Structure 1
Amino acid sequence: MMKRKLVATVLGMSLVFTMFNFQAGQAASAAAPKAKNVILMIPDGYSTDYATNYRLYAGKHSSMDPHLVGMVKTYAADSPLTDSAAAATAMATGFKTNNGMIGTTPDGKARKTILEAAREQGKATGLVATSTITDGTPAAFSSHILSRAQEIEIAPQQLERADVILGGGKSYFLPESLGGKQKTRNLIEEAKQSGFNIVDNRDQLMAAKGGKLLGLFANSEMASELDREVTNEPSLREMTGKAIEALQTDKDGFFLLVEGSQVDSAGHYNDAAWAMKDLQAFDEAVGLALEYAKQDGNTLVIVVSDHDTGGMSVGGYGQIGAKPEILQRVNASGGFMASKLNADRSNVKEVLRTYASIELTAAEEAKIKSAKEAMPAINAVISEHALVGWITYLHTGVDVPIYAFGPGSELFRGLHDNTDLPHLIAKTLHINFGGGAEK
């Protein structure tokens, strides 16, 4: 008899707790913060080692540091090491896919992206990158294609889905007759006819007005930040600011993707100075976005990498410590320095002295002279001087940090899979994402 009463009591208490939790969940859902705008910022190839080395390089905390909320798992459907296409597809659609695939699952089905869901709700949308705008990350949020190599097919899809497009990759929008890669279509002219304001250098960008904007500042990827001063290209901060300025005119709000693409490029070349300088450019863009979000009060800013590149370390070469001052003195990328070498590389000491403030030893001079390719050898010497180690020229599979500020930022706390991100963004925007429904 006592056992029956005890069971009844436990069941009754369980029912009360269940009802309480259900009601609390309803109240929490109803009270969930709502953002009008989302700015998703991706430092391609970034990880905690980049974060630490950059803090040493800058001599202060980054604009991201105060807003660290968690970590994100990055693996692809077919590999523990993802590429940008698969990682961005996961962050855009909520589905894992194979490396190289864009906006589609391994079975070839196109999946709705969070950018498309925002657009369906009347929001303006934008893409900013320092790579070709048709590259893996921006492509995965704005197109559906079986291979990331099909940039010719990606470009027209982006024009259909984004109101602001800023980055490199002009050749993918022009016909072969004008030196481009499109067979016959002139997508820039088509964009102009459909209401886009067309710009192709920094001055034109800064003077641009209006809601729809297409700016393609290089035929391929844009210049590294170390080398940008010899071009007429805008900075990532300037592109981000102009994108916000254009998109905020939409009364329904906006979704903006900003990629600091060159961090990844630097990692692939093991160019530590390039990585730090482009992280500085990215940090300045994040600072601008955060300033806008603080003033606006209705904007969620999320910063998260897609994967780590290079396996950078803080310290190395059998020594204890770090020498960020070495990287602070470098004023050109390893590729730029290699381009300044004469045919027999007899001026290598002068080039490293001029562009890296490094006096080469005889052994280092010989190493660069005898290397099959000069650039990797130059980068290796600079990294060793700065005590920045590398383990690969490819990606690694480590978790990456995520930062968030603004309405709904608490939803991003903890350890997440990259497939969680579009669902959390949709929840914050209070829009119907449809679970990454098949297109």
Structure 2
Amino acid sequence: MVQENLEPQGSANAESLLLFKEEILLKSQFKKIQVLILAFVMVLSLFAPFASAAEKGSAKNVILLIPDGLGASYMTATRIYKGEELSFERYVKGLMNTWSSNTNVTDSAAAGTAMATGYKADNGKISVTPDGMEPDSILDAARDKGKATGVVATSRVTHATPAVFVAHDSSRGNEVALAQQYINNVDVILGGGQDMFTLEAEGGKQPERNLVQEAIDAGYNYITTKSEMADTSNGKVLGLFAKAAMTYEIDRVDVEQPSLSEMTKYAIDVLSKDQDGFFLMVEGSQIDWAGHANDPVAAIHDTLEFEEAVNEALEFAKKDKETLVVIAGDHETGGLVIGSNVGGYADNIEILKNVKASNIAILETLADNVTIISLANAQEIDGTHYIHIRDAAAQLQADLDYNPSTKLVTINKDDQTVIFDLKKKEVNKKAFDMFLNDSKTKQYINVNDFFELFGYDVAIGTTKDKPELTTAYLAHINNTVSPILGFDLTEEDITTLTSVNWNGRYDLSNTLGKVVSNHAYLSWGTNNHSGVEVPVYAYGVGADQFVGLIDNTELPRIISYLMGTELFDDQDETIKRLEERRTN
């Protein structure tokens, strides 16, 4: 009996032990599954911002800031100059294509049209497509939804980038017509360009319409100074703070001309009073102009001021919690490179901290300190200009004495004496480039060589088909320029500057930019735009929708979706496609 009782008991114990082991195994496997699920959830959470769109219409306010012409290398140069990252660099999301409908190197009109309307355009056209369509912009869509709207620029407000958000024209140069489309189409207008809103009879460009008066009659507050901004905080505002463009930030000395950041803060203050929200476009216009001029100092200072404008937008968005801030250049300008053949692997951007003005301002100072010699009666032989020696001395306001028996000409200027031996064609027993005219009555002398004898740097200015405007410019370049630059130019620099056409509108400015850049070990590829992608930054509601590589036509579709304006039939599809692209 004992044995019988033992066997069933032993069998039961074995069975219990087996069940216990199975229970432990199941618990172990369950824990492993829990860990795997937890890990999977954690991985999904990392991609959560990209896996699903922000809620449609969730952005009550949108502030789009466009640093015209700014590429990644501008950010690098400015960061090195500043000594720390720019405030919005941490919000980088991706890159944006910039090509236009007729070329891979866009202009601002076509690039802006894509960013404003979502459609490609030919270079030079303001929100007009190749087939002649005039699509609405995201500013128009915001206005139609009842939101307040604004544009801010440091150029004329009718320049290409601000214009594409407000107006339409087949030519960006037709700013007179563009200006006529602003009143009542946008609530807050701030920047330069008084000339485009005033009558020709008053020094403006409008032949018949006084747009300033029309704006006042339509209920706009018209202001022209920073002080007046403080007195006007509600309603519609037309603020024009310069006759044409405003100044570079580094050259801004007029205390009544507001900075880009001051205009941005003011625009936000006015527009944010609208209970339905607002759309604001802010352009750092002259970053692009500095790039065209290959002017690193003006470019960096305008980029730093643009950063301050972004800070105003970010400060508002962080408090508001219903605002999307987007920063994207329309294209890159100048092909800026951090580095040069001269510098090798070194950089010398630090030297730019000594420079006190833009190229344009430096050249204005130079122009105030040159002596101008007319070469209307000079002769040109194989590109070299020769002037009658008496004419040269007279225009130099020097005393001339001629001894016909010895053929010696003595010229005195500011206690300096130079003696020319016309017979031997020598000066101080050195051969000199001179000749008699065909009638043997006038002695002509090499313009550059002659005036260099009196200590001048000599440059020539010519104008196509107008020989009467040919001019010699006499300067003391280093004495004039080096105090502004904070460093001395080399003889090679002086030769480079005097070798260009000083009558050319941009020749000297662009060349000065290259000379200054060489000292900073920076180089430029062009004085035009380049076709490279530009960085995109975003903060706030829906910011993650800009992650990855997007096309400039997709940018307004994303913004329209987030504002809930339904500007595009395919904007939902665009959001879905971009999400799939990011996650696959």
User: What's the TM-score once normalised by structure 2's chain length?
Assistant: 0.69
Further displaced range: 39-48 or 425-434: 425-434
Residue 199 of structure 2 corresponds to which residue in structure 1? 175
How far apart in 1 are the matches of 2:55 and 2:537? 22
Residue 334 of structure 1 corresponds to which residue in structure 2? 359
Choose from 501, 524, 533 the match for 1:372: 501
On the 8 A contact 2:331/2:529 being kept in 1, the answer is: yes
The structure-2 alpha-carbon separation of the partners of 1:207 and 1:317, relative to structure 1 and needing over 3 Å to count, comes to farther
On the 8 A contact 2:250/2:298 being kept in 1, the answer is: yes
CA offsets per residue over residues 156-197 of structure 1, 9 Å max, x none? 212231100001111110011111111111101110111111
On the 8 A contact 2:53/2:542 being kept in 1, the answer is: no
Is 1:137 the counterpart of 2:161? The answer is yes
Residue 41 of structure 2 corresponds to which residue in structure 1? none
User: What's the TM-score once normalised by structure 1's chain length?
Assistant: 0.91
CA offsets per residue over residues 20-71 of structure 1, 9 Å max, x none? xxxx9xx956845711100000000011111111110111111120100000
Q: Which runs of 5+ in 1 are unaligned?
A: 1-23
On the 8 A contact 2:195/2:244 being kept in 1, the answer is: yes
Counterparts of residues 411-430 of structure 1 (less than 5 Å): 411-430=545-564
Q: Offset of 1:435 from its aligned partner? A: 4.2
The structure-2 alpha-carbon separation of the partners of 1:184 and 1:436, relative to structure 1 and needing over 3 Å to count, comes to farther
Which amino acid in 1 is paired with 2:198? L
- Between Structure 1 and Structure 2, which shows a larger proportion of strand residues? 2
How far apart in 1 are the matches of 2:98 and 2:510? 27
On the 8 A contact 1:93/1:436 being kept in 2, the answer is: no
Q: Offset of 1:436 from its aligned partner? A: 9.3
The structure-2 alpha-carbon separation of the partners of 1:28 and 1:359, relative to structure 1 and needing over 3 Å to count, comes to closer
Which amino acid in 2 is paired with 1:395? H
Residue 323 of structure 1 corresponds to which residue in structure 2? 348
Residue 477 of structure 2 corresponds to which residue in structure 1? 348
Partner of 2:112, secondary structure, is helix
The alignment's C-alpha RMSD in Å is 1.8
Counterparts of residues 10-409 of structure 1 (less than 5 Å): 28=52, 31-32=55-56, 34-230=58-254, 232-318=256-342, 319-341=344-366, 342-343=369-370, 344-373=473-502, 374-409=508-543
Q: Offset of 1:430 from its aligned partner? A: 1.7
Identity of aligned residues (%): 43
Choose from 523, 544, 554 the match for 1:410: 544
Partner of 1:302, secondary structure, is strand
Q: Offset of 1:103 from its aligned partner? A: 1.1
Which amino acid in 1 is paired with 2:137? T
Residue 579 of structure 2 corresponds to which residue in structure 1? none
The structure-2 alpha-carbon separation of the partners of 1:29 and 1:359, relative to structure 1 and needing over 3 Å to count, comes to closer
CA offsets per residue over residues 341-384 of structure 1, 9 Å max, x none? 12245331123222110112222223323432332232121100
Which amino acid in 2 is paired with 1:413? V
The structure-2 alpha-carbon separation of the partners of 1:230 and 1:387, relative to structure 1 and needing over 3 Å to count, comes to farther
On the 8 A contact 2:54/2:562 being kept in 1, the answer is: no
How far apart in 2 are the matches of 1:88 and 1:45? 11
How far apart in 2 are the matches of 1:296 and 1:284? 18
On the 8 A contact 1:82/1:99 being kept in 2, the answer is: yes
Which amino acid in 2 is paired with 1:362? E
Q: Offset of 1:74 from its aligned partner? A: 0.4
The structure-2 alpha-carbon separation of the partners of 1:32 and 1:184, relative to structure 1 and needing over 3 Å to count, comes to closer
Residue 14 of structure 1 corresponds to which residue in structure 2? none
CA offsets per residue over residues 67-118 of structure 1, 9 Å max, x none? 0000000000000010000011001111111001111111111101110001
